[in-house]
Amino acid sequence: MLRDITLGQYYPVDSVLHRMDPRTKLFGTMAYIVSLFIADHLLAYVAATIFLVIAIRMSKVPVKFMVRGLKSVVVLLLISVSFNLFLTPGTPIFKIGFIQMTWEGVEFAAFMAIRLIYLVLGSTILTLTTTPNQLTDGLEKSLGFLGKVGVPVHEVSMMMSIALRFIPILIEETDKIMKAQMARGADFESGNLIQKAKAMVPLLVPLFISAFRRATDLAMAMEARCYRGGDGRTKMKPLRYEARDRMAYAFYLGYFVVIIAIKVLL
Amino acid sequence: MAIEIKNLNHIYGKDTIFEQYALKNINLTIEDGEFIGLIGHTGSGKSTLTQHLNGLLKASDGDILYNGENIYKEGYSLKDLRSKVGLVFQYPEHQLFEVDVFSDVCFGPKNLGLLPSEVEERAKEALEMVGLDENFYKQSPFELSGGQKRRVAIAGVLAMKPEVLILDEPTAGLDPRGRDDILGLVEKLHKEQGITIILVSHSMEDVAKYVSRLVVMNQGEKMFDGTPKEVFRHYKELEKIGLAAPQITYVVQALRARGIMVSEDVTTVEEARDEILKLWKR
Amino acid sequence: MGIIRAVNLIFDYIRHDDEQDKDEINHALRGVSLDIEEGSFVAILGHNGSGKSTFAKLMNGILLPTDGTVYISNMKTSDEEHLWEVRKTAGMVFQNPDNQIIGNVVEEDVGFGPENIGVPTEEIWERVDKSLEAVGMTAYRLQSPNKLSGGQKQRVAIAGVMAMKPRCIVLDEPTAMLDPNGRREVIKTVQELNKQEGITVLLITHYMEEVIEADRVVVMDDGQIVMDGTPKEVFSRVSELKEYRLDVPQVTELADELKAAGMDLPDGILTIDELVDRLVPILKEERA
């Protein structure tokens, strides 16, 4: 189950998008999401589709791999589509009792579905082409100004990147602990809410103890490698805007002009 | 017969491009009272196989019969099976959770729905079997040494009175003495309690001394199955898959290659000593 | 004077018992002195609880001794001002491969150390390239550490230390959680670093077969050094090693038992070839 989620997984190939500055990608993703919510004309969606296709082609990530990420939002997609389909007032297509489907609803649902799919694909491209470390680096640098008002930006981003590294390990460990307790007759599924909560104790205690142990070990390992906070640190992969980033920003600008023009003119 | 495995397959990511056989066409019969070593390196499928034996994992196809009954039959209680086929995982840290040793060992029998008096009775018995006396009852399991933790973990499973006991790498991370203690304990359980034992390990030298049968796994398949002597004759093939036979096997083969016909049946240091001395004194 | 000098080290763990309101003192080290020559491969053996891991953690200031001094290339580990220089000089690899890799990508993890000590970007890349090459992990540089085997993870950890250009590496039971393949992989890597790069190695372990090729073997028991010599010297004392709860390789044990039965064999036989070479003439002569 958990291994099906593509969102938040890096796909290691070498492409222009992979090499692009994470800030450029972060900004682009945000701009793209905003554009999806501005867009309400067919032509705007054509533009958004072109944007997405270009990004996917440039990322060199197999489309199949990306589409797998959509599986995780199928339920959400179905719910929002059916809500729009049946609850939008307008010209009815058919009516059974109080349930009615309208032309407006069909249009709205279709746009909604496209928006949601594009939104997920757009952010999936970001995470597939950007290592979590680059992503936190990008956030750290973009939000660097907050450091001046006392927000520990470096520490927070370091914590995020460590969390990202340990989540898969802890998921695997949870699985092992569950199995070890099930081998002793533990039952995590049946019973009412209170019984279920109680059944979690044999899972959570070993998990927490292990997590604390890992934290202590990791702190020791980081110290042994001379980690002492953000001051005086250099970067292996410093963020520097290159020609491709400037081109990307120009492209975003062009894209936005088109989206807004469609919005205003049509 | 205790356990019969028939044409067992376990496939990860079935029908996707990531499809991969974790277990491939395994056939294996384990008789009551056997002491088996299940050997293979990481990723050979040995742990996956053991988790099928008590129903923690379900086979993609194939059957497992426990005492003649198919465990995949509708209505078969996996919970009962798990009390009959006890599985002790590699790291005791994955199962110890109670405030003291005694309560922790009580967890298994309590889950079986026994009366409190019987739960305690069983916990006491189990702790005695693993050699932990009353001084340990009220100690926190987290403050014990590695070897002691392992004993508590084994007791926690023994308290369910299993007929088959599977131990997944019970000596990982222990020092030589700790390792010998645990393996000695397992041997005692086999002899005195008559429990069928399946010992999972990646070390040939460790298990050669104790087991009467070795099953070698490689890439999800059963590669060899026989007495240690039979299996170690294939030492060259074992080497190819990264599992060296015990050093003694190499000494024997090297001596034979130089014309000193030491018996090939020799697998332990004691046997080798006696064999060589026999030739010497002649 | 050696690169690592431990002088009369004492280390006490103090555990506070809330219920009885008293402190329990556990003497992990009781006066350990050791002088390690630059460029050598030294193995420290001991059972769990012998104090060997505590000793390792004192080597780069992760722990500070209760009494006594550790000098790393003549710098005291207890001097605050030298702490980072000490840690750069004596790198450390730990037991659990998962709990010491910080980066989400192999190469980023290797670069973590140099980043911390302020190495310029270009040089970080050079160091990362070289370190990955040295441990044979270049092909995996863009992988996630979670996809690697235990042995590969430990090699990444070693590369991470190498990238800080240490003069010595202390490995605290780096193979305890690995299978035989992983163990061989890690030991081979360490041996190569010692031979080719001249890095001083201090390997802490309880696996005998890993120390056979060391220059020097030190055995610890109950917080003290109880044996110290070449592998041959140490392994010739089979019964003593067993008293310290340690194993000997099967060949060594067999040779020892044959010798006890009256065969004319030398002490401290460590390899199969050595034993067979000695046995063949003895047995052939008898039969002739």
- Determine whether the interchain pair C283/B280 forms a contact, defined as Cβ–Cβ distance below 8 Å: yes
Helices (H), chain C: 52-58, 83-89, 106-116, 121-134, 150-162, 180-197, 231-235, 238-243, 250-260, 272-287
| Separation between Cα atoms, residue C93 and residue C155, nearest integer Å | 10
- Whether the pLDDT of residue C114 is over 70: the answer is yes
The band of A7, judged by pLDDT with boundaries at 50, 70 and 90, is very low
Q: Can you give the pLDDT at residue B211? A: 92
- How close A250 comes to chain B (CA, Å)? 39
The band of B17, judged by pLDDT with boundaries at 50, 70 and 90, is low
Domain residue extents for chain A: 1-130+238-266, 152-235
- Determine whether the interchain pair B95/A187 forms a contact, defined as Cβ–Cβ distance below 8 Å: no
- ipTM, 2 decimals? 0.89
Out of A12, A217, A228, the one facing C142 most closely (by C-beta) is A12
Query: Residues A9-36: what's their mean pLDDT?
Result: 89
Higher-confidence residue: B103 or A164? B103
- Determine whether the interchain pair C182/B176 forms a contact, defined as Cβ–Cβ distance below 8 Å: no
- Determine whether the interchain pair A220/C125 forms a contact, defined as Cβ–Cβ distance below 8 Å: no
Q: Can you give the pLDDT at residue C13? A: 86
- How close B231 comes to chain A (CA, Å)? 31
Give the pTM. Answer: 0.85
Give residues 48 to 77 of C whose Cβ lies within 8 Å of B. 48-49
- Determine whether the interchain pair A214/C161 forms a contact, defined as Cβ–Cβ distance below 8 Å: no
Chain C residue with minimum CA distance to B261: C283
Rounded-to-10 torsion of CA A171, A176, A181, A182? 100
Chains that touch B (3 or more CB pairs under 8 A): A, C
- How close A238 comes to chain C (CA, Å)? 8
Helix axes C272-287 and B269-281, enclosed angle (nearest 10): 30
Chain C residue with minimum CA distance to B43: C149
DSSP helix, strand, coil percent of chain C (3-state; round to 5): 45, 25, 35
Helix axes A103-129 and A63-70, enclosed angle (nearest 10): 120
Size of interface A-B (CB pairs under 8 A): 58
Partner residues linked to B8 by β-bridges: B26
Query: For the segment C234-286, what is each residue's pLDDT rounded down to a tens digit?
Result: 999 999 998 898 888 889 999 999 999 989 899 889 999 999 999 998 888 76
- How close C83 comes to chain A (CA, Å)? 9
Task: Give the number of other CB atoms < 10 A from CB of residue A208.
Answer: 11
| Separation between Cα atoms, residue A257 and residue A44, nearest integer Å | 11
- How close A252 comes to chain C (CA, Å)? 29
| C126 interface with A at CB cutoff 8 Å | no
| C273 interface with B at CB cutoff 8 Å | yes
Query: Residues B169-190: what's their mean pLDDT?
Result: 90
- Whether the pLDDT of residue A8 is over 80: the answer is no
- Determine whether the interchain pair B276/C249 forms a contact, defined as Cβ–Cβ distance below 8 Å: no
Q: What is the DSSP letter of C77?
A: T
- How close B92 comes to chain A (CA, Å)? 9
- How close C239 comes to chain A (CA, Å)? 36
Query: Residues B241-248: what's their mean pLDDT?
Result: 84
- Whether the pLDDT of residue A63 is over 90: the answer is no
Among C18, C283, C285, C286, pick the best mutation site for testing chain B contact (most B Cβ within 10 A).
C283
Query: Residues B175-186: what's their mean pLDDT?
Result: 90
- Whether the pLDDT of residue C72 is over 50: the answer is yes
Chain A residue with minimum CA distance to B105: A184
- Whether the pLDDT of residue C4 is over 90: the answer is yes
| B97 interface with A at CB cutoff 8 Å | yes
**Dihedral (CA of B150, B156, B160, B161) sign:** positive
Query: For the segment A214-245, what is each residue's pLDDT rounded down to a tens digit?
Result: 999 999 999 999 998 888 888 888 888 989 99
The band of A80, judged by pLDDT with boundaries at 50, 70 and 90, is confident
Q: Can you give the pLDDT at residue B196? A: 95
Helix axes B146-158 and B116-129, enclosed angle (nearest 10): 140
Q: Can you give the pLDDT at residue A5? A: 44
With b for 16 or more beta-carbon neighbours within 10 A and e for fewer, the B93-109 pattern comes to bbbbbbeebbebbbbbb
H or E segment and range at residue A122: helix A103-129
Residue A131: its chain C contacts at CB < 8 A? 104-105, 108
- Determine whether the interchain pair C105/A238 forms a contact, defined as Cβ–Cβ distance below 8 Å: no
| A150 interface with C at CB cutoff 8 Å | no
Higher-confidence residue: A174 or B2? A174
Question: What CATH number should be reported for the domain whose range is C4-248?
Answer: 3.40.50.300
Answer left, alpha or beta for residue A184, where phi above 0 means left and psi between -120 and 50 means alpha. alpha
Chain C residue with minimum CA distance to A210: C99
- Whether the pLDDT of residue C24 is over 80: the answer is no
Do A44 and A259 meet the contact criterion of CB atoms below 8 Å apart?
yes
Query: For the segment C125-135, what is each residue's pLDDT rounded down to a tens digit?
Result: 999 999 999 99
Partner residues linked to C7 by β-bridges: C69
- Determine whether the interchain pair B176/C246 forms a contact, defined as Cβ–Cβ distance below 8 Å: yes
- Determine whether the interchain pair A176/B94 forms a contact, defined as Cβ–Cβ distance below 8 Å: yes
Out of B79, B95, B112, the one facing A180 most closely (by C-beta) is B95
| Separation between Cα atoms, residue C146 and residue A2, nearest integer Å | 15
Higher-confidence residue: C179 or B15? C179
- Whether the pLDDT of residue A132 is over 80: the answer is no
Chain B residue with minimum CA distance to A170: B94
Query: For the segment C39-62, what is each residue's pLDDT rounded down to a tens digit?
Result: 999 999 998 889 999 999 999 899
Q: Which tokens hold the place of C191? A: 């041996």
- Determine whether the interchain pair B202/C179 forms a contact, defined as Cβ–Cβ distance below 8 Å: yes
- Determine whether the interchain pair C87/A225 forms a contact, defined as Cβ–Cβ distance below 8 Å: yes
Neighbour-count burial of C25, counting CB atoms closer than 10 A to its CB (0-12 exposed, 13-18 middle, 19+ buried): exposed
Query: Residues C146-156: what's their mean pLDDT?
Result: 94
Residue A227: its chain C contacts at CB < 8 A? 112, 116
Flag the least confident range among B15-19, C55-59, C92-96, C272-276.
B15-19
Do C75 and C20 meet the contact criterion of CB atoms below 8 Å apart?
no
- Whether the pLDDT of residue A183 is over 60: the answer is yes
The band of C20, judged by pLDDT with boundaries at 50, 70 and 90, is low
- Determine whether the interchain pair C180/B282 forms a contact, defined as Cβ–Cβ distance below 8 Å: no
| Separation between Cα atoms, residue B54 and residue B56, nearest integer Å | 6
Domain residue extents for chain C: 4-248
Rounded to 5 degrees, what angle do the CA atoms A25, A28, A32 make?
Answer: 140
Among B180, B182, B251, pick the best mutation site for testing chain C contact (most C Cβ within 10 A).
B251
